[in-house]
Amino acid sequence: MLQPAFDEMNGLGQGVREPYAAVAEWLGTLRIDDLKRKRAEAEVLFRRTGITFNVYGDEDAAERLIPFDIIPRIISAAEWRRLAAGIEQRVRALNAFMYDIYHRQEILKAGRIPPELIIQNSAFVPEMIGVEPPLGIYSHIIGIDLVRTGENEFYVLEDNTRTPSGVSYMLENRETMMHMFPDLFARNNVAPVEVYPEKLLQTLESVAPEGLNRDPVIAVLTPGIYNSAYFEHSFLADQMGVELVEGNDLVVLDGALHMKTTQGLTQVDVIYRRVDDSHLDPLVFDPDSLLGVPGIFDVYRAGRVTIVNAPGAGIADDKAIYSYIPEIIEFYLGRPPILSNVPTHNCRHPDGLKYVLEHLSELVVKEVHGSGGYGMLVGPAASKEEIETFRAKLKARPENYIAQPTLALSTCPTLVEDGLAPRHLDLRPFVLIGDQVRLVPGGLTRVALKRGSLVVNSSQGGGTKDTWVLQD
Amino acid sequence: MLGRTANDLFWLSRYVERAENMARLIEVGYRIALLPRTGDAKNEEWRSTLESAGCAPGYFAKNETLSARDVVNYLLFDLTNNSSIHSCLATARQNARAQRTALTREMWESLNSSWIEFQSIKPNTLTSDGLPKLLDWIKERSAAYRGALMNTILRNDTYHFSQLGTFLERADNTARILDVKYYVLLPSSTMVGGGIDNVQWEAILRSVSAHRSYRWVYKDSYRAWQIADYLILNRAMPRSLRACYGEIDGSLKDLARLYGAEQPCLGTAKTTLALLDQGEIDTIFQSGLHEFLSDFIARNNRVGHEISEAYHFNA
């Protein structure tokens, strides 16, 4: 049914690909037991460092490790150059699109996107209309999910413009690999990723409110220790040397945002928030939220604090908007997209729906607002019953779904029970947008550990790998 | 620093210290219970262990009788007891997790590995010879955490709030141990003399790991008023009230310097320190050891309360 997948190490079977030469040689010198022992060592390291994530609704496994695979995923310098150019182009267009959507809405007037797709979208925040974020940027930290299907075929599967997570794994995976296999790094010219926190800090500083006559005070806002990504929040705050605050630590007073310190109140200028829009400000959004700060949105609107990413940034990563991104790039930048989209059928269109219903067993169907691999159908892997259940859901609410062909995601050798075996993977580079676009060479490689599985999400049993970008 | 951070660091230290003190109390109770004595008297020792730990009401709400197994279980593993070693480690680790950005990697990893290892202990498979080993391990882990703190943390507010938690908790613990047993130190009971008193006196010293150092300092056999002097007024004894207040006073002064403002808690700490500095053990006995200790415990609580007010712990 599926064509054979392209393998990152072995291509389509014509021998080891150039970027993997040194790693393949190294693997050849090791026995499977050695590798398994190393993997166990890595787990102890992760556990002791507390690099864990929480799974909602799973009391027993309140703090779980994301399985870490010790065989790296490697990207050549030339491949990365192309990806980097495409990513930069994409994030510039996404921000231009958001600025337009919350201002003149030229793209709607030009009829390039159906207005109801924006206006009726729950990710669209009308309160943001007319707000001027510093430097006109809405999404300062974007994770772009990429997949590969061949030597030169990369696709963008998804943009994450709200609060993308996973960058701490990119950094800790590298730290662990360098600790365990220092020789490997002596033999391969791997681009460093540890500059990410510094670049994040520079990005945050660059979007501080104008006219501050002091260094901006920056804080990371977390929902707290029970959040699934809490480790990452504390990790990033620590690496940047800024406070990690919860909603209760903040208060709005005299039109400014303050944090409550041991010496009284300190004004905060930039908030890197890791709480959702709806929880940000109970006065404007969800009134029952205890995670946010009453009044913060007014301070933001008055330009006295910068919220990163901006409220309403989710409009750019909505799955219903996704299929319009190539148009968005052309519209704002006047150039064709460098990175391709996966061809997408919008079930809101009758033609799209008809096609999808006829080809359910071949397609991946996703909820427009879903995330984390929940509520999706992978046609080729689904049973007849599952397909029929999904068909009913589709017919009931077609506008709630999009569908894409099942891509043969590239594989990479991965350590499993009986040794090394190819497993499917994706790649999420993290790009920073402030006074300039900053892209650390690398990203988070997620790998589906189950044989044949295409779902890489950690909530669905996916693992991660260290991601190497080689330098010339 | 956030007020919440200061609060979490303060209590993190308190709970690590409390776990260590609890281990010592159980150890002493267990030791005495091994002595050849008859039924009731044997178990009565557990009552004073519970009282020293401030856990007697909670214990008797769940248990009607005293037994080694129930007491040890309540003080070590019972999560409904906020002061059990299990609860202490859980709270300490939770605070540490909430304040990872304030801790050094060494501090976090020390605490996190203790927690991971403690969770693998199965209470019902704990044998009587396993108990002393476990208690030693707990003291060791507390020492490891304190070591990581002393060796790796910047001497800024993180350090000072951690120190304050440790020494307020320690002072409270030493004062309570003395107060529960004060009667065995009174002259009237000294008259009785004999083996039991010696056992009781040694128990007091052991509860604060001072039974050997006592001999070095006083070059004498155990004497009630010297034991009290040692635990209350001796500035060289690291668990004495005087030593604890030396540290508390020092940290509060450093904080005042760091923040450029003196707070009421410093005043209260200074007065308490002066009281201990000028105190004479004879006068303390004359005006009542129990009254002195109750007064001290109340003062110590007040300092804790004033610290949390001054530095916006619950802002």
Instruction: Please judge whether A47 and B109 are an interchain contact, meaning their C-beta atoms are less than 8 angstroms apart.
Output: no
Instruction: Please judge whether B259 and A244 are an interchain contact, meaning their C-beta atoms are less than 8 angstroms apart.
Output: no
Question: Which member of B3, B97, B101 has the closest CB to residue A261?
Answer: B3
State the CATH class of domain A210-304.
Answer: alpha beta
Instruction: Please judge whether A225 and B98 are an interchain contact, meaning their C-beta atoms are less than 8 angstroms apart.
Output: yes
A191 CA to chain B: closest CA distance, Å?
25
Question: Which member of A238, A248, A264 has the closest CB to residue B100?
Answer: A238
Asked if residue B95 has pLDDT above 80, the reply is yes
By C-alpha distance, the chain A residue nearest B308 is A262
Instruction: Please judge whether A261 and B112 are an interchain contact, meaning their C-beta atoms are less than 8 angstroms apart.
Output: no
Instruction: Please judge whether B100 and A261 are an interchain contact, meaning their C-beta atoms are less than 8 angstroms apart.
Output: no
Please report residues of B whose CB lies closer than 8 A to that of A262.
Answer: 1-3, 5-6, 157, 161, 259, 311-312
For an interface test with B, which of A253, A263, A272, A274 has the most B Cβ atoms less than 10 Å from its Cβ? Answer: A263
For an interface test with B, which of A236, A245, A261 has the most B Cβ atoms less than 10 Å from its Cβ? Answer: A261
Is pLDDT larger for residue B46 or for residue A75?
Answer: A75
Q: Tell me: the pLDDT tens digits for B123-156? A: 888 887 889 999 999 999 999 999 999 999 999 9
The per-residue pLDDT for A3 is 63
Q: What is the spatial distance between Cα A427 and Cα A450, in angstroms, rounded to a whole number?
A: 17
Instruction: Please judge whether B101 and A234 are an interchain contact, meaning their C-beta atoms are less than 8 angstroms apart.
Output: yes
B23 CA to chain A: closest CA distance, Å?
24
Residues of A with CB under 8 A from a CB of B: 47-50, 224-225, 230, 234-235, 237-238, 243-246, 248-249, 259-264
Q: Where are the domains of chain A?
A: 18-209+305-341+407-469, 210-304, 345-405
Do A219 and A268 touch, CB atoms closer than 8 A? Answer: yes
Radius of gyration of chain B from its Cα atoms, rounded to whole angstroms:
20
For an interface test with A, which of B8, B93, B99, B101 has the most A Cβ atoms less than 10 Å from its Cβ? Answer: B101
Q: What is the spatial distance between Cα A205 and Cα A227, in angstroms, rounded to a whole number?
A: 26
Instruction: Please judge whether B97 and A225 are an interchain contact, meaning their C-beta atoms are less than 8 angstroms apart.
Output: yes
Q: Tell me: the pLDDT tens digits for B152-208? A: 999 999 999 999 999 999 999 999 999 888 877 776 654 444 556 778 888 889 889
pTM of the model: 0.89
Report the SS3 class of residue A98: helix
pLDDT tens, N- to C-terminus, chain A (472 residues): 456 899 999 999 889 999 999 999 999 999 999 999 999 999 888 888 777 766 554 444 457 788 999 999 999 999 999 999 999 999 999 999 999 999 999 999 999 999 999 998 889 999 999 999 999 999 999 999 999 999 999 999 999 999 999 999 999 999 999 999 999 999 999 999 999 999 999 999 999 999 999 999 999 999 998 888 899 999 999 999 999 999 999 999 999 999 999 999 999 999 999 999 999 999 999 888 888 999 999 999 999 999 999 999 999 998 889 999 999 999 999 999 999 999 999 888 899 899 999 999 999 998 887 666 667 888 888 899 999 998 999 999 998 898 999 899 999 999 998 899 999 999 999 999 999 999 999 999 999 999 888 888 877 778 999 999 999 8
Beta-carbon neighbour count of residue A459 at 10 Å?
17
Number of inter-chain CB pairs under 8 A, A vs B: 61
ipTM: 0.84
Instruction: Please judge whether B315 and A260 are an interchain contact, meaning their C-beta atoms are less than 8 angstroms apart.
Output: yes
A265 CA to chain B: closest CA distance, Å?
9
Q: What is the spatial distance between Cα A388 and Cα A361, in angstroms, rounded to a whole number?
A: 10
Cis peptide before A309 (omega within 30 of 0): yes
Instruction: Enumerate long-range contacts of A187-194, CB under 8 Å, 24 or more apart.
Output: A187/A22, A187/A26, A188/A22, A188/A23, A188/A74, A188/A468, A188/A470, A189/A470, A189/A471, A189/A472, A190/A468, A190/A469, A190/A470, A190/A471, A191/A80, A191/A441, A191/A442, A191/A468, A191/A469, A191/A470, A191/A471, A193/A440, A193/A441, A193/A442
The pair phi, psi for residue B65, each rounded to 5°, is -115, 165
By C-alpha distance, the chain A residue nearest B106 is A49
Please report residues of A whose CB lies closer than 8 A to that of B157.
Answer: 262
By C-alpha distance, the chain B residue nearest A263 is B311
Please report residues of B whose CB lies closer than 8 A to that of A236.
Answer: none
Instruction: Please judge whether A262 and B3 are an interchain contact, meaning their C-beta atoms are less than 8 angstroms apart.
Output: yes
Question: Which member of A49, A249, A264 has the closest CB to residue B4?
Answer: A249
The pair phi, psi for residue A402, each rounded to 5°, is -125, 160
Question: Which member of A243, A259, A262 has the closest CB to residue B6?
Answer: A262
Instruction: Please judge whether B101 and A244 are an interchain contact, meaning their C-beta atoms are less than 8 angstroms apart.
Output: yes
By C-alpha distance, the chain B residue nearest A225 is B98
Pseudo-torsion of CA A367, A373, A377, A383, nearest 10°? -150
The per-residue pLDDT for B138 is 96
Please report residues of A whose CB lies closer than 8 A to that of B94.
Answer: 225
Instruction: Please judge whether A238 and B259 are an interchain contact, meaning their C-beta atoms are less than 8 angstroms apart.
Output: no
Instruction: Please judge whether B101 and A237 are an interchain contact, meaning their C-beta atoms are less than 8 angstroms apart.
Output: yes
Residue whose pair of structure tokens reads 């083996």 in the numeric block:
B195
By C-alpha distance, the chain B residue nearest A258 is B2
Average pLDDT on B255-265 reads: 96
Instruction: Please judge whether A234 and B100 are an interchain contact, meaning their C-beta atoms are less than 8 angstroms apart.
Output: yes
Please report residues of A whose CB lies closer than 8 A to that of B312.
Answer: 260-264
Which token pair is B110? 């020390």
For an interface test with B, which of A43, A262, A272, A293 has the most B Cβ atoms less than 10 Å from its Cβ? Answer: A262
Q: What is the spatial distance between Cα A415 and Cα A84, in angstroms, rounded to a whole number?
A: 29
Helix axes A350-358, A384-396, angle to 10 degrees: 170
Q: What is the spatial distance between Cα A129 and Cα A108, in angstroms, rounded to a whole number?
A: 14
Give the list of residues 6+ apart from residue A41 with CB closer than 8 angstroms, or none.
A180
CATH of A345-405, one of 3.40.50.720, 1.10.260.30, 2.120.10.10, 3.30.1490.270: 3.30.1490.270
Question: Which member of A50, A238, A262 has the closest CB to residue B312?
Answer: A262
By C-alpha distance, the chain B residue nearest A226 is B98
B101 CA to chain A: closest CA distance, Å?
5
B120 CA to chain A: closest CA distance, Å?
14
